[in-house]
Amino acid sequence: MIRPVGSDELKPLFVYDPDQHHALMHEAEGLPSITISSQAAGNAVMMGGGYFTPLTGFMTVADAVSVAETMKTTAGMFFPVPILCLVDDPSSIGDARRIALRDPNMEGNPVLAIMDLESIESVSDEQMTLMTERVYGTSDQAHPGVAAFQGQGRVALSGPIQVLHFSYFQDDFPDTFRTAVEIRNEIAERGWKRVVAFQTRNPMHLAHEELCHMAMERLSCDGLVIHMLLGKLKPGDIPAPVRDAAIRKMVDLYFPPNSAMVTGYGFDMLYAGPREAVLHAYFRQNMGATHFIIGRDHAGVGDYYGAFDAQTIFDEQVPKGALGIEIFKADHTAYSNKLHKVVMMREAPDHTKDDFVLLSGTKVREMLSNGVAPPPEFSRPEVAQILMDYYQSLT
Q: Domain holding 129: CATH number?
A: 3.10.400.10
Cis amide leading into 381 (omega within 30): no
Q: What is the mean pLDDT of the chain?
A: 95
Instruction: Examine the pLDDT at 238 and tell me if it is beyond 90.
Output: no
Domain-embedded: residue 279: yes
Residues 254, 128 share a domain? no
pLDDT grade for 365, boundaries at 50, 70 and 90: confident
Residues 127, 45 share a domain? yes
Residues 376, 315 share a domain? yes
Instruction: Examine the pLDDT at 182 and tell me if it is beyond 90.
Output: yes
Name the domain boundary from 146, 167, 188.
167
Residues 152, 252 share a domain? no
Residues 220, 279 share a domain? yes
Predicted confidence (pLDDT) per residue in 277-288, tens digit: 999 999 999 999
111: Cβ contacts below 8 Å, ≥ 6 apart = 25, 28, 29, 33, 100, 101, 102, 103, 164, 165
Average pLDDT of the segment spanning 294-307 = 93
Instruction: Examine the pLDDT at 395 and tell me if it is beyond 80.
Output: no
Residues 190, 157 share a domain? no
The fraction of the chain above a pLDDT of 90, given in percent, is 92
Average pLDDT of the segment spanning 185-201 = 97
pLDDT grade for 89, boundaries at 50, 70 and 90: very high
d(CA 380, CA 373): 9
Residues 292, 186 share a domain? yes
Average pLDDT of the segment spanning 193-211 = 95
Name the domain boundary from 167, 202, 223.
167
Name the domain boundary from 167, 188, 218.
167
Number of structural domains in the chain: 2
Domain-embedded: residue 10: no
Residues 211, 139 share a domain? no
Domain-embedded: residue 45: yes
HSE, side-chain direction, 13 A CA sphere, residue 273: 26
Domain-embedded: residue 244: yes
Residues 195, 148 share a domain? no
Domain-embedded: residue 38: yes
pLDDT at 362: 83
The fraction of the chain above a pLDDT of 70, given in percent, is 100
Catalytic residues: 201-202
Domain-embedded: residue 7: no
Domain-embedded: residue 3: no
Residues 140, 54 share a domain? yes
Helix (H) or strand (E) holding 119: strand 119-122
Domain-embedded: residue 368: yes
Average pLDDT of the segment spanning 82-103 = 97
pLDDT at 192: 97
Question: What's the domain range around 45?
Answer: 18-167
Q: Using the 8-state DSSP alphabet, how is residue 223 labeled?
A: E
Q: Provide the 10 A C-beta neighbour count for residue 312.
A: 12
The CATH code of the domain that includes 374 is: 3.40.50.620
365: Cβ contacts below 8 Å, ≥ 6 apart = 391
pLDDT grade for 232, boundaries at 50, 70 and 90: confident
pLDDT at 102: 98
Instruction: Examine the pLDDT at 361 and tell me if it is beyond 90.
Output: no
Predicted confidence (pLDDT) per residue in 42-79, tens digit: 999 999 999 999 999 999 999 999 999 999 999 999 99
Residues 185, 83 share a domain? no
pLDDT grade for 104, boundaries at 50, 70 and 90: very high
d(CA 321, CA 79): 13
Residues 183, 100 share a domain? no
